[in-house]
Amino acid sequence: MAIKLPKLIATSVVRGSAQGESHGGIYTVDFATKKGEQHVDWNTSEIDFEGRGADRGLRGIAFDGDNIYIAASDEIFCYDKNFNLIVSFKNRYLKHAHEICKMDRRLFISSTGFDSLLAFNLDTKKFDWGFHLRKEYDQWTGGAFDPQRNIGPREVNDFHINMVDVNNSGIYLSGLRTDSLLYLTPNNSIETVCSLPSGTHNPRLWNNGVLFNDTASDCVRFVPKEGEEQTYKIISYKESDIEFAGIDDSKIARQSFARGLCTIDERFIAVGSSPSTISLFDLSNDQQVGSVNLSMDIRNAIHGLEVWPFKD
């Protein structure tokens, strides 16, 4: 039986670009045709150009009916399924947003610049919940706050929270410097689910194990509770084919930087990397199925990655 290959939506960020240049965008990628199409080119004069490219580009993706919600650094944008911008939303505690996800009638957002999570109510169109992560005496802790009031946490980025995942079992979060996947209990206490390598992106519980981008090791890994770990190296290219190599003095822009991860079903996963490439893996058969490259500019890196939910 022929396998139906997925269509995905991806966002990208661009490191080290100057004003007037592209800062990433929104793409769809059809693995049946192995072609990608750019729908939005993110270029705005309001981008903050200070430090590490933190404000350059588009990040997490979530869906609500026919609407697509996409996070920029300090703003959530709502597009229709034809990529027409409908409206956008800001909050004083939204800074350097990364991943977003939807559960019931809320979007949950990782607000990296405040070491916090935020919830956006899709019915009232207001940010109505926040949680600030802390570590005291080597123990994880934190507290809820109202993002509508000016009494929330100070701007701090100790843990670089870059992932939030919400499902029927609760709220999960992690960051570059948490070195673990964390669980936020209903009474706002924090439990450690499992340890993770430093620098991990996009961890999630899946298939009775944990799936994550081991970014520092240039690979994606699936570690089951029982059985053998599966590890896949991220695609790399000839240095002579790379555009703008060495332009980023911070060395953040590099090949095989794994970020962006989505599960297709119980068998297939898709992984994003730099320069902007999306790779499809079949874990049942322990192999890479294929990849689609969107840009050979080393500064251009995939960030958000989800299955495209609409029928063409």
Residue 90 three-state SS: coil
pLDDT of residue 52: 43
Cα separation of 243 and 192, whole Å? Answer: 41
The whole-number average pLDDT for the span 79-85 is 96
pLDDT at 22: 52
Q: Does position 47 have pLDDT exceeding 80, yes or no? A: no
Q: What separation, in Å, do the N-terminal and C-terminal C-alpha atoms of the chain show?
A: 23
Confidence of residue 298 (pLDDT cuts 50, 70, 90): confident
Angle at CA of residue 253, ends 165 and 297, nearest 5°: 105
- Residue that is written with structure tokens 């609500």 in the block: 64
Token pair of 83 as six digits: 């990529």
Query: Which residue type is seen at 151?
Result: I
Using the predicted structure, report yes or no on whether residue 51 has a pLDDT greater than 50.
Answer: no
Structure tokens at 21: 């240049």
Closest CA to 66 of 290, 312, 309, 254: 309
C-beta of residue 185 within 8 angstroms of C-beta of residue 170 = yes
Residue 20 pLDDT exceeds 50:
no
Residue that wins the pLDDT comparison between 262 and 19: 262
CA dist 289 and 280 (Å) reads 5
Contacts (Cβ under 8 Å, ≥6 apart) of 145: 93, 116, 130, 131, 132, 151, 152, 153
Closest CA to 233 of 249, 251, 220, 214: 220
Of 186, 160, 155, which is closest to residue 174 (Cα–Cα)? 160
**CB atoms < 10 A from the CB of 90, how many?**
11
Report whether pLDDT(16) > 60. no
pLDDT of residue 312: 73
What domains can be seen in the chain, in order of their start residue?
7-307 (2.120.10.80)
DSSP string, 4-16: ---EEEEEEEESS
- Check whether 1 has a pLDDT greater than 90: no
Residue 138, CA atoms < 13 Å, CB-side half-sphere:
0
pLDDT at 217: 93
Angle at Cα 270 formed by Cα 27 and Cα 105, nearest 5°? Answer: 70
Averaged pLDDT, 54-65: 83
Full-model pTM: 0.92
Strands 219-224 and 230-233: antiparallel
Can you tell me the distance from the alpha carbon of 229 to that of 114, in angstroms, rounded to the nearest whole number?
34
Contact 181, 203 (CB under 8 A): yes
Q: What is the pLDDT of residues 209-264, one digit of tens each?
A: 999 999 999 999 999 999 899 999 999 998 888 887 765 444 556 788 899 999 99
Structure tokens at 24: 């990433």
Question: What average pLDDT does the chain have?
Answer: 89
Name the strand (E) or helix (H) holding 162.
Answer: strand 161-167
Cis preceding linkage at 6, omega within 30: no
pLDDT score for 112: 94
